[in-house]
Amino acid sequence: MMKLRQTLLKLSLILLLLLVLAVAFLAYLQPGFVLDLANRFVLC
């Protein structure tokens, strides 16, 4: 039972990481968004 729980935890963490990377990749496909984000970071 513990082995299954560890496997599910690892799988969910991998899926979460892939989701975050996919969102970041899609954000970089919109240059206006990246420029706005950079400006906010610099002006902060």
Q: Is 44 helix (H, G, I), strand (E, B) or coil?
A: coil
Q: How many domains does the chain have?
A: 1
In Å, how far are 1, 8, 43 from 38, measured between CA atoms? 46, 36, 9
Does the pTM of the predicted model rise above 0.85? no
Domain carrying residue 20? 2-43
Of residues 2 and 36, which shows the higher confidence score? 36
Q: What's the pLDDT at 39?
A: 93
Q: What's the pLDDT at 12?
A: 97
pLDDT over 80 at 1, yes or no: no
- Output the six-digit token pair for 44: 């902060």
pLDDT over 80 at 27, yes or no: yes
- Output the six-digit token pair for 28: 């970089």
Q: How does the average pLDDT of the chain come out, rounded?
A: 91
DSSP string, 7-40: HHHHHHHHHHHHHHHHHHHHHHT-HHHHHHHHHH
